[in-house]
Amino acid sequence: MAEASQWQLMWRKFKKHKLALISLYFVGFLYVIAAFAEFFQPFDPEVTSRRDVFHPPQAIKFLDRTEDGTRFRPHVLGTTLSRDPETLATSYEINADEKIYISILGKTKPYKLAGFIPMSRRIIAPTKQGERFYLFGGDRLGRDMLSRTIAGTRISMSIGLVGVAMSLFLGTLIGGMAGYLGGWIDSVSTRAIELILSMPTIPIWLGLSATIPADIDPLMRYFAITVILSLIGWTELARVVRGRFLALRTEDFVTAARLDGARPRRVVFRHIMPSLMSHIIASVSLAIPAMILAETSLSFLGLGLLPPSISWGVLLKEAQNIRSIAQAPWLFTPGVFVLFAVLALNFLGDGLRDAADPYAQDLG
C-alpha cells in the first residue's frame, strides 16, 4: 500500500504550478548569489576609477576573430574616453583594436568568501589583472554596477528573510495565544493589532528610521531597519492566525484531542498548526517581497541603509538626479532586480499556498 507524507503531497501539487516552480529556482539562485556574492562579483564593489565615470555597459563577444581564425574566447571591446571641446561633455567611443579578454573562474586578488573563506578566483574576471570591464556600466565614481548590484542582493534579499522570520515568530505567538486562550489576552492583543493596523505604515517607517543615528555602525543599522520592518509586519499574520485559531479550537478533532488528555502545546502544534499551514505560507510569501520593497523605499529616500552598506535601495538612490537619468540610465538596473525578485516571490507564494491548502481541488 503506497503512502505519502503531507510534504510529499504538497511537493507533487507544487510541481504542477509551472510558474511557481520556475520562481522557486530563480529565488533559490538569488539566495545563492546573496550567500556567495564575492564569488559572483567580477570586481570589488568599492573600487573606484576616475577614468571610467559613468562608463556605459559593454557587451560580451564570445567569438574572437583574428588572423589565425575564429575561436571561442569571451571578450569585450575597449573604449576611449573623449570630451567635447565646446560642451565639455564626456563620451566613450568603442576601440575595436583593444580587446579585454574574460576568463571563467579567473584568478584575481585574494578575498574572503562570505567574510571568512580565503579565495582568489571569481566566476568571471579579466585575463590580465588590472584591466576592467563594465557589463552593467559604471556609476559616478567609476565603480562596477554589476559587482555592486550583486553585492546589494545579499542585504536586500536577507533583510526580507530575517524580517519575516521575526514577524512570523511574533505573529504566530501573539495571534495563537489570542485565538486559543481568548479572554482578556484576546482583547488586549486584538486592540494592539487594530491600533498598529490603523496607523499609516510609511510615515511610521519614516519616523522610526529617522530616529536611527546617522553615524551608527552599518551592521547595527541593518539590524535596526530589520527590527523596524518586523515591528510593523507581524500584525497581519497575527490577525490571520487568531481568526483561524478561533475557528479551529471548537472543531471536533481539537475537542477529541483535549478529551484524550493532550496538553495544550500538543493540541496547538500537532492538531491546529498543520491546518494553518496554507494561511501562514500565504502571509509569509507576501510579507517577504513587501519587506524588500519597504527596505528599498527607505534606502531610496535616505532613511534606510546608508553607504558604505550596499543594497538595491542604496544603489537606486544614486539615480535620483536628472543627470543620472539622461547620462546613465543603467543606474536603474537594481530596480529591475527588485521587480523580478518581488514577482518571483509572489508567484512562489501563490504556488506554495495552493499546494499547502488541504481544501484545494487537485485537477491534475
Query: Looking at residue 329, what is its pLDDT?
Result: 87
Query: Looking at residue 363, what is its pLDDT?
Result: 43
Those residues whose C-beta lies under 8 Å from the C-beta of residue 341, and which sit 6 or more positions away, are: 27, 30, 156, 157, 289, 292
Cβ–Cβ under 8 Å, residues 359 and 288? no
Q: What does 165-208 look like in DSSP terms, one character per residue?
A: HHHHHHHHHHHHHHHHH-HHHHHHHHHHHHHHHHS-HHHHHHHH
Query: Looking at residue 87, what is its pLDDT?
Result: 66
Query: Looking at residue 40, what is its pLDDT?
Result: 93
Residue 65 in grid coordinates: 576573430
Query: Looking at residue 5, what is its pLDDT?
Result: 67
3-state SS, residue 118: strand
Cβ–Cβ under 8 Å, residues 124 and 100? no
Query: Looking at residue 41, what is its pLDDT?
Result: 92
Residues of the chain with pLDDT under 70: 1-6, 87-89, 357-364
Full-model pTM: 0.84
Query: Looking at residue 356, what is its pLDDT?
Result: 72
Distance CA 151, CA 309 (A): 9
Long-range CB contacts (< 8 A, 24+ apart) of 271-279?
272/180, 272/244, 272/245, 272/248, 274/6, 275/244, 275/248, 275/358, 276/241, 276/244, 276/245, 276/248, 277/356, 278/353, 278/356, 278/357, 278/358, 278/360, 279/240, 279/241, 279/244
Distance CA 39, CA 106 (A): 11
Strands 61-66 and 90-113: unpaired
Cβ–Cβ under 8 Å, residues 1 and 346? no
Reference 156, options 332, 286, 31; nearest CA is: 31
Query: Looking at residue 28, what is its pLDDT?
Result: 92
Q: What does 222-248 look like in DSSP terms, one character per residue?
A: HHHHHHHHHHHHHHHHHHHHHHHHHHH
Residue 48 in grid coordinates: 573606484
Residues pairing with 78 in the sheet:
95
